[in-house]
Amino acid sequence: MPEADLKAWRNTNAGLLLFLKVTPNASRDEIGDIVADADGQGQLVVRVRAVPEKGKANKAVIRLLAKRLRCRAADLELIRGEVSRQKQVQIFNLREEELLARLF
Note the pLDDT tens digit of each residue in 40-56.
999 999 999 999 999 99
Note the pLDDT tens digit of each residue in 55-102.
999 999 999 999 999 999 999 999 999 999 999 999 999 999 999 999
Nearest-CA neighbor of 24 among 101, 83, 100? 83
Domains of the chain, earliest start first: 3-93 (3.30.1200.10)
Distance CA 4, CA 90 (A): 22
Residue 12 has phi, psi (to 5 degrees) of -130, 175
Helix, strand, coil share (%) of the chain residues, nearest 5: 25, 35, 40
